């Protein structure tokens, strides 16, 4: 891990973002946004798609309407989410390398407090749990329909910690997006960035996270048992 050694207190909850952290769906959302903008006759060549990672569909819709005034009065978020779910149902995205094993190891170490915190709706989380086979290991999840303020606001993480009965400073978060990392830090939690080796995600991780890894295969085999002991 980069940014190591990582100094942690005894961890009591392990919280995973989903899209881009456990499930390689961010490419799907980028594809959908680009497709729909093209269908709407809007140029997306200069659009910073990375800026849409880690946030709610509703916020993505607002940002697009701000950038493309012709979308004002429409509901781009609903169209994007519907197309995203259609593509994901037809061809599920692969898991991030090592994600399933890491989630199982985390749940073995902390079976009551290993959870998912995501900007996706509950239906997408349910699809992920079914596809990944990780439902038995997931103690709970916090989806976009369960909180008001999108990441980078800390509400999603603070809500999860409260539901689990764990202090924020005893939570470890895995995140891939700058918005998610900022949310974890604003909540007072510890954060490891998943970068996929992408330059801008590495930069965000170095600036915002306590440590960075390319994917979960770069975690030591005894990582989770070591942080809860």
Give the span between the Cα atoms of 207 and 177, in whole angstroms.
12
The reported pLDDT for the residue numbered 3 is 59
Identify the residue whose tokens are 């916090």: 142
55 neighbors 179 (Cβ within 8 angstroms) = yes
Burial class (CB in 10 A: 0-12, 13-18, 19+), 97: middle
Note the pTM of the prediction, 2 decimals: 0.92
Integer Rg of the chain from CA: 17
- The widest CA-to-CA distance across the chain, in whole angstroms, is 56
Pick the closest to residue 60 from 88, 45, 79 (CA basis): 79
Question: Tens digit of pLDDT for each residue in 159-187?
Answer: 999 999 999 999 999 999 999 999 999 99
What's the angle, vertex CA 175, arms to CA 137 and CA 212, rounded to 5? Answer: 110
What's the angle, vertex CA 165, arms to CA 164 and CA 167, rounded to 5? Answer: 110
The reported pLDDT for the residue numbered 43 is 85
The reported pLDDT for the residue numbered 140 is 99
Domain 13-24+94-228 bears CATH identifier 3.10.450.50: no
Distances (CA, A) of 199 to 33, 50, 171, 194, 203: 22, 12, 27, 12, 6
Flag residues of the chain having pLDDT under 70.
Answer: 1-6
What are 6's two structure tokens?
């990582």
């Amino acid at each position: 891990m980069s940014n190591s050694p990582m100094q942690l207190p005894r961890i009591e909850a392990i919280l995973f973002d989903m899209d881009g952290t456990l499930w390689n769906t961010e490419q799907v959302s980028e594809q959908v946004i680009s497709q729909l903008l093209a269908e709407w006759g809007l140029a997306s060549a200069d659009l910073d798609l990375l800026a849409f990672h880690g946030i709610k569909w509703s916020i993505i819709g607002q940002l697009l309407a701000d950038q493309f005034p012709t979308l004002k009065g429409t509901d781009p978020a609903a169209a994007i989410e519907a197309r995203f779910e259609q593509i994901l149902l037809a061809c599920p995205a692969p898991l991030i390398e090592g994600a399933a094993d890491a989630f199982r190891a985390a749940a073995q170490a902390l079976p009551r407090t290993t959870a998912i915190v995501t900007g996706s709706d509950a239906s997408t989380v349910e699809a992920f749990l079914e596809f990944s086979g990780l439902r038995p290991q997931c103690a709970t999840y916090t989806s976009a329909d369960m909180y008001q303020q999108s990441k980078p606001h800390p509400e999603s993480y603070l809500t999860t910690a409260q539901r689990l009965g764990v202090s924020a400073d005893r939570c470890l978060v895995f995140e891939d997006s700058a918005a998610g990392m900022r949310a974890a830090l604003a909540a007072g939690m510890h954060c490891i960035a998943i970068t996929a080796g992408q330059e801008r995600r590495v930069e965000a991780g170095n600036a915002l996270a306590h440590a960075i890894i390319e994917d979960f295969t770069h975690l030591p085999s005894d990582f989770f048992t070591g942080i809860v002991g």
